[in-house]
């Protein structure tokens, strides 16, 4: 997680002056109305980020509506790596108008005061929802909506689940159980619901997440029940890591939790890890990038993932897909196009998305995701 007080996030006045020429050139070059760069909506002075961490080096920042795979861009649309001698970085900000609209809304968007204000507003010409429609409060909440531990920013609800029932089995002969669930949970990542191992059982979980205006106690939807601890370097050398999942559940009330996925529909079943195949098309709904599809490019993958603050977690038995996510989509359920659960999304780069095998999530958390193995 980025720390707001991180000194390397800040651009000093001297550095800003030093790169001012490069910034002005970038405005000319990237925002030229006669030759617009795809998706570029602004230019700013800032610091270069690498591996999710600010480096402290001054950089010209190209603000884009969304990041696009280099291979999908025409040569003229690529952001140069340097302008003069100054490095560039690319910051995805969505559509600034809509984003700002949301920032101005008070936290309690359901409050009467807001409704009165809204009545005075002219009818919008275009729908105001868009880039972050799932960042709003919803009851019952569905898979795809914003959620978060009270000390984090925001992630996504995968779906809602319950404890394995009598007769259920994991391991080599998995099967669903039968009976009456006693508890119902929101499923998402450890780093979304348990603040990367730092949370206490019983901690408040907010919907929407704090980054989207969720506050305690008004937006409390659940309380943290259990999480699978993640081993990180430092302190543990990554060669010793045996992480399989970044997963946690938080118990809520049945009437607040809808296991349907916004846009995806009901999860018909879940797929065993051995049947998850390279080349398959998959889909997800998430808080930031909404509904997206991708293709599985690798399975049985070992991946080193940045957790912020210089921490790395090595994960085994992961699914890698083409890029289908962005920051805030952590926790999204990855399914087949006909809604069989395959993975739990937790990480990504500008070109790839990484997910845990749903079978590992089910057996480690001991929760039922759906009543059929498909």
Partner 1 sequence: MPSEIDDVLQRHAASLMALPNVVSVGVGELDGRPAIVVGVTEKVPSEELAPGERIPDELEGHEVDVQELGAPVIELPEEGLHG
- The residues binding partner 1 (CB under 8 A) are 1-2, 49-52, 54, 89, 91-93, 152-155, 189, 191-192, 211, 238-239, 246, 274, 278-279, 288, 297-308, 314, 318, 320, 325-330, 345-354
The DSSP string of 4-60 is TT-GGGPPPHHHHHHTHHHHHHHHHHHS-TTSPPTTEEEEEEEEEEETTEEEEEEEE
Q: Residue 182 Cβ, how far from partner 1 at the closest point, in Å? A: 31
101/105 Cα distance (integer angstroms): 7
Q: Residue 52 Cβ, how far from partner 1 at the closest point, in Å? A: 4
Decide whether 22 or 192 has the Cβ nearer to partner 1.
Answer: 192
Decide whether 86 or 318 has the Cβ nearer to partner 1.
Answer: 318
Class of residue 253 by CB neighbours under 10 A (exposed 0-12, middle 13-18, buried 19+): exposed
Q: Residue 329 Cβ, how far from partner 1 at the closest point, in Å? A: 5
Class of residue 209 by CB neighbours under 10 A (exposed 0-12, middle 13-18, buried 19+): buried
Decide whether 91 or 105 has the Cβ nearer to partner 1.
Answer: 91
Decide whether 132 or 163 has the Cβ nearer to partner 1.
Answer: 132
Q: Residue 318 Cβ, how far from partner 1 at the closest point, in Å? A: 7
Tell which residue, 182, 216, 181, has the closest CA to residue 202.
Answer: 216
Q: Residue 355 Cβ, how far from partner 1 at the closest point, in Å? A: 10
Decide whether 69 or 118 has the Cβ nearer to partner 1.
Answer: 69
Tokens 């069989």 identify what position? 340
Decide whether 160 or 355 has the Cβ nearer to partner 1.
Answer: 355
CB atoms within 10 A of CB 373: 15
- Kindly state the DSSP code that residue 199 receives in the 8-state scheme: -
Q: Residue 317 Cβ, how far from partner 1 at the closest point, in Å? A: 9
Q: Residue 293 Cβ, how far from partner 1 at the closest point, in Å? A: 17
201/210 Cα distance (integer angstroms): 19
205/248 Cα distance (integer angstroms): 11
Decide whether 253 or 275 has the Cβ nearer to partner 1.
Answer: 275
Decide whether 209 or 264 has the Cβ nearer to partner 1.
Answer: 209
- Kindly state the DSSP code that residue 119 receives in the 8-state scheme: H
Using DSSP's 3-state secondary structure scheme, residue 159 falls into: strand
Q: Residue 344 Cβ, how far from partner 1 at the closest point, in Å? A: 11
Token pair listed for 249? 């559940």
């Amino acid at each position: 997680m980025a720390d707001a007080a991180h000194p390397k996030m800040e651009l000093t006045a001297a550095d800003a002056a030093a790169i001012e020429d490069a910034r002005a050139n970038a405005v000319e070059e990237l925002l030229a109305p006669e030759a617009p760069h795809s998706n570029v909506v602004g230019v700013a002075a800032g610091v270069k980020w690498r591996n999710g961490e600010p480096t402290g080096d001054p950089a010209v920042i190209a603000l884009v509506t969304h990041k696009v795979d280099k291979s999908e861009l025409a040569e003229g649309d690529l952001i140069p790596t340097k302008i003069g001698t100054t490095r560039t970085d690319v910051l995805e900000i969505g559509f600034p108008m809509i984003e700002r609209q949301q920032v101005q809304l008070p936290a309690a968007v359901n409050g009467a005061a807001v409704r009165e204000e809204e009545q005075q507003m002219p009818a919008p010409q275009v729908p105001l929802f868009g880039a972050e429609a799932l960042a709003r409060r919803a009851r019952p909440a569905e898979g795809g909506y914003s959620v978060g531990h009270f000390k984090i920013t925001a992630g996504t609800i995968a779906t809602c689940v319950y404890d394995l029932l009598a007769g259920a089995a994991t391991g080599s002969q998995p099967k669903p159980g039968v009976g009456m669930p006693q508890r119902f949970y929101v499923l998402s990542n450890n780093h979304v619901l348990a603040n990367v191992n730092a949370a206490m059982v019983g901690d408040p979980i907010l919907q929407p997440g704090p980054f989207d205006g969720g506050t305690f106690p008004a937006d409390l939807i659940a309380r943290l029940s259990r999480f699978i601890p993640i081993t990180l370097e430092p302190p543990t050398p990554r060669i010793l890591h045996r992480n399989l999942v970044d997963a946690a559940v938080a118990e809520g009330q049945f009437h607040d939790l809808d296991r349907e996925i916004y846009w995806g529909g009901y999860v018909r079943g879940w797929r065993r890890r051995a049947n998850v195949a390279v080349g398959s098309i998959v889909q997800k709904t998430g808080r930031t990038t909404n509904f997206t599809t991708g293709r599985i490019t690798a399975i049985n993958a070992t991946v080193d993932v940045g957790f912020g603050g210089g921490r790395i977690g090595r994960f085994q038995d992961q699914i890698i897909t083409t890029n289908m996510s962005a920051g805030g989509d952590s926790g999204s359920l990855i399914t087949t196009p006909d809604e069989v659960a395959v993975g739990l999304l937790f990480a990504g780069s500008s070109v790839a998305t990484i997910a845990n095998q749903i079978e590992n999530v089910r057996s480690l958390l001991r929760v039922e995701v759906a009543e059929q193995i498909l």
